Structure 1
Amino acid sequence: MALLHLVDQIVWAAVTEDRSFGDLLPQLMEASKTAPPAEMNDAMPRMAEGIAEAPANLAGWLAIISGAWIETGADPVIAGLAVVQRITDVISGALTFANAWEEAAGGKPPPDMHEEKPSQHIFDTITPRLGERAVGAMLAWFALPQFTMAGCTVLQMAPSIRAGLADRDFRALAAGEAAEYLPQMDHFHALLRVLDDERLLVLDRESRKGWTVTIGGIGDNFQLHILLAGALIGRPDGLPGDRPAPEIVACFLDADVPPGPPVISSPWNLVDAHGEWIWNEGVPADIPVVNGTRVIVIDPPSYERSFPAGRRFPLMPATLQVNADHLPENLAGWWQHIAPAKH
């Protein structure tokens, strides 16, 4: 059966809640194994309709399949946009379910999203508190893992969607709350905070030199740390030291990590303009803004930090470009805003 025809059938079944959905789902999964990306792209608009319109529990499976298509080369934007738009409602419904359950069940943990399924007992437990919202909240609760998995794929592989999302702070707040119930939501929360086309000012306290850099697709400050080292060490008017090997830097940009993985040592201590440490476990969005710009200050390392090479989000390519070198005499106005490092 042609992929587009099969997708049309399963989307109809999902939207109308027809029983044929259960038979069509394994057929679509099997057909997806050999379908070329061009066929997937043709079917994506119809998949997007199903993701947007079907009940959350069925739409979640369409989102999962769309995510798998994206990972194998299909265009991430059409269905991907539908996924990230719908996931906000799914998160809201899941949180509504969790609150109602905790009120009704006397402290008993909510049902396991992975091991259990919607049931009459679960419905009866939350209905006195949610009324007609009970079905939607229950279905959202059990669909959250599927939407989270698909959403993480989309946000890693579609920078245009990341950059175009409205209310990212609100979405991230909701995702952070949902992570209490689904740890994988931590990844979605972090991806919502990824900066793209963001200019940073990097200052070296010892030489008083500075650089303007533009970053994108960086998942944590481990990655930022090594990409800065790769860009600034050994550069004309750059910094002294041992530059990470090109193949190591590539692991933090867009390359596959070799078996092992290799272990890399951090050459510096990074602090913000207030003197607070920029923790490698954090993300670039944590770095405070000063006069409209996030500022990083390079200090000598306080101790040796070593960590494995690679990206937190392997599907997300990163960029770091040096836009300008700044001489010490041109940075005098900035240093008055920079506090000493706090130890």
Structure 2
Amino acid sequence: MSAALQQVADEIVRAALVEDRSFGDLLPRLMREAQAAPVAAKSAVLPRLAEGIAEAPVNLGGWLAVVSGSWIEEGADPDPVGRALVHRLTETTAAALAFGKAWEEATGGKPPDMEEEQPSQQVFDTVRPVLGDGTVTAMMSWFALPQFAMAGSTVLQMSPATRAGLDDRDFRAFAAGEAARYLPHLEHVQALIRVLDGERILVLDRATRHGWTVTVGGIGDNFQLHVLLGGALIGRPGGMPGTPPAGDIVACFLDAPTPPGPPIASSPWNLVDAHGEWIYNEGVPADIPAVNGTRVVVLDPPSYQRTFPAGRRFPLMPATLHVDGMHLPEDLTGWWPHIAAATR
């Protein structure tokens, strides 16, 4: 561990917790020390920054969140800071929502630009009649939200443990979705909160009555799910006949950088849910309804050719799709009565 980095991290967290004016001088010092420190030293310091993110006033915690996010993008371990950052992101989002609604109630107009403007006495006075004692927290949360959203996106992409360990997932996703009308980047946060990890899905081929159980993780949309299913099942032993997607295209949907261009992928099937409704590529695996606790994907022939650029919606998030087992038609007789015919 870098002793100098640890020292300045301790100092800046202490300053943040008590709103000491030295915070402004310590922030550039922290950045300078981090430039010369190895990744392992940054990882070792992140638990201390997590304390500041969780407990400091939101306007200062936001800066610690941004620093943490930048270190994680450079290779630092996201897990020590992930839970604290996502929890504070949700708190900040809820308070910012209260501010936005209070501003609209008080003025009938759009709230101030949270990225281009800053807290002021005029802003405070505008929403004080609506928010009362919560005015300062709501106002500071409004202007800190972009920092938490940016850092939250990074940690959610790069920490499967943070995603898998989220509590109150539905509320966190709902809050992010509600606040996206003020900060569109929160649409990405909402989608990341809903990412499935370690989720088993039953895949059924309607034509042959064969099936497969797969386990997925880190998949950002159903474009990605579609291609990874093709790569795992088509032309594979125990899978389906045909020519699988090219390996370089599948790699773009797993964990490889997408080359300039990018290459063009195609959908080998119509994906349909257990109720017979299309599973749209623009959706996410969490949208797929479950039958008896298991999400079901039915493979039907494609109704038309769909093509789209290769690549992951969230480039920092590696994906996995593992085939756990193949099921013969006689193994699945209890499932088909629950599977509706395609509605189109």
TM-score by length of 1: 0.97
Cα deviation, 1:128-162, whole Å, max 9, x if unaligned, reads 11111100000000111100111111111111111
Aligned to 1:93: 95
1:111 matches 2:96 = no
Select between 302-311 and 5-14 the one with higher mean Cα deviation. Answer: 5-14
Partner of 2:229: 228
Q: Is the 8 A contact 1:66 1:80 kept in 2?
A: no
Match of 2:152 in 1: 151
Alignment correspondent of 2:177: 176
Aligned 8 A contact 1:214 1:323 in 2: yes
How high is the sequence identity, in percent, across the aligned residues?
68
Count of aligned residue pairs for this structure pair: 342
Note the C-alpha offset of 1:304. Answer: 1.0
Q: CA deviation at 1:27?
A: 2.6
Please report how far the alpha carbon of residue 28 of structure 1 lies from its aligned counterpart in structure 2 after TM superposition.
2.1
Rounded Cα–Cα distance in structure 2 between residues aligned with 1:247 and 1:280? 20
Distance 2:82 2:48 in 1: 12
Given that residues 213 and 322 in structure 1 are in contact (C-alpha distance below 8 angstroms), is that contact kept between their aligned partners in structure 2?
yes
Q: Which letter does structure 2 place at the counterpart of 1:13?
A: A
Taking the aligned partners of 1:203 and 1:290, their CA distance within structure 2 comes to 13
Instruction: Determine if the alignment matches structure 1 residue 131 to structure 2 residue 132.
Output: yes
Q: Which amino acid aligns with 1:10?
A: I
Letter in 1 for 2:155: V
Name the counterpart of 2:311.
310
What one-letter code is carried by the residue in structure 2 that aligns with 1:222?
F
Return the alpha-carbon distance in structure 2 between the equivalents of residues 179 and 66 of structure 1.
Answer: 23
Match of 1:17 among 4, 11, 19: 19
One-letter code aligned to 1:51: I
Separation (CA, whole Å) in 2 of partners of 1:42 and 1:272: 45
Instruction: Tell me the amino acid that sits aligned with residue 267 of structure 2.
Output: S
Gaps of 5+ in 1: none
Larger CA deviation: 78-87 vs 28-37: 28-37
Question: What is the distance in 1 between the residues matched to 2:297 and 2:130?
Answer: 49
Q: 1:55-114: CA deviations, max 9, x gaps?
A: 111110100100111111111111222101211110111011111111101x21011011
Tell me, yes or no, if the aligned pair for 2:83 and 2:166 is still in contact at 8 Å.
no
2:14 and 2:237 mapped to 1: Cα distance? Answer: 61
**Unmatched 5+ residue regions in structure 2?**
none
The range that moved more, 330-339 or 22-31, is 22-31
Q: Distance in 2 between matches of 1:237 and 1:45?
A: 46
Residues in 2 aligned to 1:198 and 1:159: alpha-carbon distance in whole angstroms: 12
Alignment RMSD: 1.2
Kept in 2: contact 1:102–1:108 (CA 8 A): yes
SS at match of 1:218: coil
Q: Displacement, 1:33?
A: 2.5
Q: Matched residue of 2:97: which SS?
A: helix
Give the structure 2 partner of residue 66 of structure 1.
Answer: 68
What CA distance in whole angstroms lies between the structure 2 residues aligned with 1:81 and 1:40?
17
SS of residue in 2 equivalent to 1:2: helix
What does the per-residue CA deviation read over 1:170-228, in whole Å, with 9 as the maximum and x for residues that have no partner? 11111110111110001110011111111111011111111111111111000000000
Q: Is the contact made by 2:82 and 2:155 (CA closer than 8 Å) also made in structure 1?
A: yes
Q: Secondary structure at the match of 1:333?
A: coil
* Alignment match, 1:42: 44
Does structure 2 conserve the Cα–Cα contact (< 8 Å) formed by 1:270 and 1:299? yes
| TM-score, L = length of structure 2 | 0.97
